[in-house]
Structure 1
Amino acid sequence: MDRAEKKEAVATLHEVFSKTSVVVVAHYSGLTVAQMQNLRKQMKLAGARVQVAKNRLAKIALEGTDVASVGSLLKGPALIAYSDDPVAAPKVAVAFAKDYEKFVLLGGAMGKTALNVDGIKSLATLPSLDELRAKLLGLLQAPATKLAQLSTAPAAKLARVFGAYASKDAA
């Protein structure tokens, strides 16, 4: 790489580190090209990205960002996985590490919070943003669904429901 390419790489990485919400660092030594392509494919499907960069350039790009704490993890053949969704990159990285023992998680950062391997694993167990939205939508729709079911129920069932609420309030 010549000097101009290095400056461009640092600028690109700095922009990524500034905008992303979570960064995961892992060693990938010993993985085949097919396995790396599989990792990239899984990350892309989850809305995350994987990037292999020179450690020195990545450390320079980390300066002045919220995720600067991962700089100490960049030793040896390290890759960086990142995503806007705080759960996407850790979830895929943890699942991939279970399948391939040569893929070793080192740690990461979520905003200004540095994460060790256990922190990455616990972050991976949380539901994604889309799952949380679906649950919230289900909770919002549930009362309307129950009201619709009550309005279509026979009058006897409706009377029993009112009676049950009246006895509940009296107790």
Structure 2
Amino acid sequence: MNKAQKTEIINKLRERFSRYPHFYLADSSALTVEQVNKLRRACFEGKVEMKVAKNTLIRKALESIEASRYEGVYPALKGQTAIFFTENPKEPALIISRFRKEQGSEKPILKLAFVDSEIYEGDSQLETLTRLKSKADLIGELISLLQSPAHRVIGALQSGGQTIAGVLKTLESRSAD
């Protein structure tokens, strides 16, 4: 690979790292060609972009964006590295988990996940990543929590409206006596 080709790959990787807020790094070296194709298909269906690149090119792409932001990523750049770019922070974890179940294997091995500037290091973090909530899920939960007290007050007023009126009439009649 000549210098121009390497520069082109670095530029493409930099564009993807800049565009996607989350990415996963995994070791897919033990997978057969057929398994890699199945994994790529699952990624495509899940709207996750999967790329395999040399570690030095990945590192150069990250350093060209903001070297200090990605310092925790660099130690994971060893061996073969597949990168999963995504908008949804838990989708690659779900894809990898489903793929492992279907294949009856522990491959691919999660090296690292970079989610909202947080680093989840190691394959042991895969289950945690499958339980992450998306931004839309969190906003929905927050809205329902904020609406809950208002619904209770309105419900109490609607169901007990007659009771409140009765109490007010009783208090009015006592004050008149």
TM-score by length of 1: 0.69
Distance in 1, Cα, partners of 2:69 & 2:154: 49
Percent of aligned pairs sharing the same letter: 25
Letter in 2 for 1:5: Q
Structure 2: which 5+ runs fail to align? 168-177
- After superposition, the C-alpha distances for 1:30-63 in whole angstroms (9 at most, x for unaligned) are 2142332113322x1xxx4322223332232232
Q: Pick from 23, 33, 40 the counterpart of residue 36 of structure 1.
A: 40
The answer as to whether partners of 1:23 and 1:67 remain within 8 angstroms in 2 is no
Letter in 1 for 2:81: A
Q: Pick from 72, 76, 81 the counterpart of residue 75 of structure 2.
A: 72
Secondary structure at 2:69 match in 1: coil
Partner of 1:83: 86
Secondary structure at 1:66 match in 2: helix
The answer as to whether partners of 1:69 and 1:114 remain within 8 angstroms in 2 is no
Partner of 2:27: 27
Cα distance, 1:20 vs structure 2: 4.4
Partner of 1:169: none
The answer as to whether partners of 2:112 and 2:119 remain within 8 angstroms in 1 is no
- After superposition, the C-alpha distances for 1:107-140 in whole angstroms (9 at most, x for unaligned) are 2334264622223432332222111111011112
The structure number with the bigger radius of gyration is 2
Partner of 1:108: 113
Distance in 1, Cα, partners of 2:25 & 2:89: 14
Partner of 2:173: none
TM-score by length of 2: 0.67
Letter in 1 for 2:84: A
The answer as to whether partners of 1:62 and 1:71 remain within 8 angstroms in 2 is no
